[in-house]
Structure 1
Amino acid sequence: MDFLTCEVRTLDGQSLGVMVLKAKTFASGSRDYHGQAKIEVEGERLQCQCQAVVIGSKGDAKQEASE
């Protein structure tokens, strides 16, 4: 998967913005998806960040290296 999307919403479900999270592999072998966006909430501009780490991905890289 090359990317994910993350939607920022209020508690009542109103969409405030959508971020595209790009895939990244670190030198350690860990993998994640990360992105940022600017959204407006009640007249104020906010900068949002989102990160989703693939749990156990560092272990996957160690396994592949030993095979």
Structure 2
Amino acid sequence: MRKFIKAFVRDERGVSAMEYAILAGIVAVALGALASGFSSNIQSWFSDLNSKVTTAKTNAG
């Protein structure tokens, strides 16, 4: 049993997969933070676009 545990601790085959998983988690958190920061800007942009389309529709009709 002791040999198995030592071999398991020394085995580095899964280390790169774990590093990629941690990196993917960090990227996901960063994208979430950016999305929440830009949400008000995006909402404002769509609101402005909606008012322009409504104005264009009113002027055309």
Into which bin does the TM-score normalised by the smaller protein fall? Answer: under 0.3
> Normalising to structure 1: TM-score of the pair?
0.23
Q: More relative contact order in 1 or in 2 (CA 8 Å, sep 6+)?
A: 1
**Greater share of strand residues, 1 or 2?**
1
**Greater share of helix residues, 1 or 2?**
2
Higher radius of gyration, 1 or 2: 2
